[in-house]
Amino acid sequence: MGSASENRQRKDVRWWKDDDKQPVWATRVAQTALDAYARLPNTGKPQGKERTALAVFVAHDENDDTVTPVAVGTGTKCMGSLDERGCAGDRVADAHAEIIARRALVRSILDDARRILHDDNDDDNNNNDDDDNNNNDDDDNNNN
C-alpha cells in the first residue's frame, strides 16, 4: 500500500520516472521556467560572474498536459531607505524574484479580468443596440 502523500497525488500527472526516480514534474516546470527566462531580452540580465534568482508561476492544462509560464520575475535586491525607494512611490522597494513574479501574476489576472469585463460589456452593448433598433422599427410601424 502506498504512502498518504502518494495517494494524494493526481493520477494524471507523472511525478516520477519509473526507472530512476527522477522528478518528471519538477523537471518540466524547471525547464519551462528556464525557457521563459531565455526568451526575455538580455537587458538587465546578469553578466559575467553576476547571478540572479528566478521565480516563475506556471499553469498546467490538464487536457493536453502542457505547462505554460504565466508570470516571470528575476531579482535579488531590496531597497531599504526612503531615499532609494522614492517618496512618490514610483520605485519598487522589494525586487526579489518572488515579489516581481507575484506582481506580474496579479497584473496578468487583473488584465484578464478587465478584458473579460470589457468583452462582456461589448456584448451587452451590441445586444442593447439590436433591441433599440427593433424597438424603433416597432415604433415606426405603429406611427403609420
pLDDT per residue, tens digit, the chain (144 aa), is 444 444 444 445 555 555 555 568 888 899 999 999 999 999 888 888 888 899 999 999 989 888 999 999 998 876 655 555 556 656 666 678 999 999 999 999 999 999 999 887 777 667 665 555 555 555 554 444
**Active-site residue (options: 6, 50, 62, 98):** 98
Alpha helices in the chain (DSSP H): 4-8, 24-39, 82-85, 97-143
Cα separations in angstroms, 24 against 10, 11, 15, 123, 128: 13, 14, 5, 43, 52
Cα separations in angstroms, 73 against 28, 56, 84, 93, 115: 18, 6, 21, 14, 23
Q: Residues with Cβ < 8 Å from 120, sequence gap 6 or more? A: none
Q: Is 84 a residue of the active site?
A: no
On whether the CB atoms of residues 97 and 54 are closer than 8 A, the answer is yes
Q: Tell if the pTM clears 0.85, that is, is over it.
A: no
